[in-house]
Amino acid sequence: PMLNFPDKVVDGIRILQYLLGAEECLIGIEDNKPEAILAMRQALRNQDTAEVVRIPTHYPSGGEKQLIRILTGKEVPSAGLPAQLGIICHNVGTAAAIADAVLTGRPLISRLVTTTGEGVAQPCNLEVLIGTPAGELIEQAGGYTDAASGLIYGGPMMGFRLSTDQIPITKGGNCLLLPSVAESPPPESARACIRCSRCADVCPVQLLPQQMYWYARAKELEKAQDYNLFDCIECGCCSHVCPSHIPLVHYFRYAKTESWEQEEERRRSEHAKMRHDFRLARMQRMEAERKARLRKKKEDLAKKPAKGKAAAKDPKKAAIEAAQKRVAAKKAANKNSQKNTDHLQPAQQAQIDAAEQRRQQAEPVEEAPPASGGIENDPELQEIFKQETSSHFAT
């Protein structure tokens, strides 16, 4: 963008300064790109708030924290953000995309991708729609050559090898590298760490890759984080200088991914526990409210004025007593009524009436129990009833 669209980059810088309220803008360009430096200075000739700064060519000076330290001398704290220092860092591709979005209404649907290496026929820079397969870019660049030994998405240090060229170009991709065996020899087998400390000497973030490697290999992720694992920018310098050919960056990527997954799992567990505790509290509250309603109902019943003697009794007890009285009255009625006196013949009824008349005329005995009015306590009536009944059934 700086060579082909410098004015668009400057427009994006002006928009960013307006949105962020930035008073000063520094554009860092490595000293091995003189054409880009000249093009940007010409585009900024009438601008007072932006300045092009030539910086030494030293990998990885393009990293956010490293570039801020080179341009301003300020150090971004560990696990911190540049905004804490009042600094925002963007690349020129972002500035050009902002100018397209604001001035022409064109969204970010493409980006410039470099296709290079001895494995491609015509190395070039292409503006590519996001989502285009890598194989189509290689065809546009003349196709593969016999020297191609693989396909790397990204730069030679921070990129990763692809197993197929049907991988789409993403928003963060800016290079397709097809190196020959001479450019990128196959990695040798990893050997044991000899504790030479070369990895620590070349680390641009001043970490201790050796210690992080041991803890990542042992899956002691929390101890790896104690050595500022997430400050690693995965530049690949440590892996490049390691005499034991240990793929240190691979271990660090693994440790970061596992740490993120564990953190996400911990967050989900805490969320589930919070929901469970909330449910228990809700159930306890509902139970307390139910008991309070029952207690209030009992208190209201106790406070009601009594209406007579029956009103003071429990409704259940009153119903039981009434049922018992009905049963007792029914038993008494059945006891006083005469049995086996239905459908009697006139002669039988006359004999019973005569026996009843004789009983009424007789003097009652004091010690004798009162007559029940039936024939079951009168032997004479029973004898007469037996004779009449037997003659009736014989007839």
- pLDDT, tens digit (0-9, with 9 covering 90-100), for 41-82: 999 988 777 899 999 988 888 888 889 999 998 988 887 889
Whether the pTM exceeds 0.75: the reply is: no
Residue 86 phi, psi dihedral angles, 5° rounding:
80, 25
Residues spanned by CATH 1.10.1060 within the chain?
Answer: 192-304
**Residue type (1 letter), 99:** A
Task: Please enumerate in sequence order all residues whose Cβ is within 8 A of that of 131, keeping only pairs 6 or more positions apart, or say none.
Answer: 168, 169
130-169 per-position pLDDT tens digit: 999 999 999 999 999 999 988 999 888 888 889 899 999 9
From CA 318, how far away is CA 346, in angstroms rounded? 48
From CA 257, how far away is CA 253, in angstroms rounded? 6
Q: The tokens 């390691």 sit on which residue?
A: 242
Sign of the CA dihedral with 314 first, then 315, 320, and 324 last: positive
Asked if 190 and 169 touch (Cβ cutoff 8 Å), the reply is no
10-residue stretch averages of pLDDT, the chain, 395 residues long: 88 92 91 92 85 90 89 87 91 92 93 92 93 93 91 88 91 90 88 93 92 94 92 91 94 93 92 94 95 91 63 70 83 64 74 79 54 53 57 47
**Cβ-based burial of 216 (10 A; exposed 0-12, middle 13-18, buried ≥19):** buried
Q: What is the pLDDT of residue 367?
A: 46
**Residue type (1 letter), 32:** N
Distance (Å) of CA 56 to CA 24, 30, 93, 108, 112: 21, 6, 21, 31, 24
Residues spanned by CATH 3.10.20.600 within the chain?
Answer: 110-186
Long-range contact set of residues 212-220: C-beta below 8 Å, sequence gap at least 24: 212/248, 212/251, 212/252, 212/255, 213/246, 213/248, 213/251, 213/252, 215/255, 216/251, 216/252, 216/254, 216/255, 217/251, 219/258
Helix H or strand E segment including 17: helix 6-20
Q: Provide the CATH number for the domain formed by 192-304 in this structure.
A: 1.10.1060
Q: What is the pLDDT of residue 199?
A: 94
Nearest by Cα to 6 from 111, 106, 93: 93
Q: The tokens 């905004």 sit on which residue?
A: 83
Q: What is the pLDDT of residue 379?
A: 60
Residues spanned by CATH 3.40.50.11540 within the chain?
Answer: 1-108
> Which CATH architecture fits 1-108?
3-Layer(aba) Sandwich (3.40)
Sign of the CA dihedral with 291 first, then 293, 294, and 298 last: positive
**Cβ-based burial of 375 (10 A; exposed 0-12, middle 13-18, buried ≥19):** buried
CATH topology of domain 110-186: Ubiquitin-like (UB roll) (3.10.20)
From CA 357, how far away is CA 376, in angstroms rounded? 16
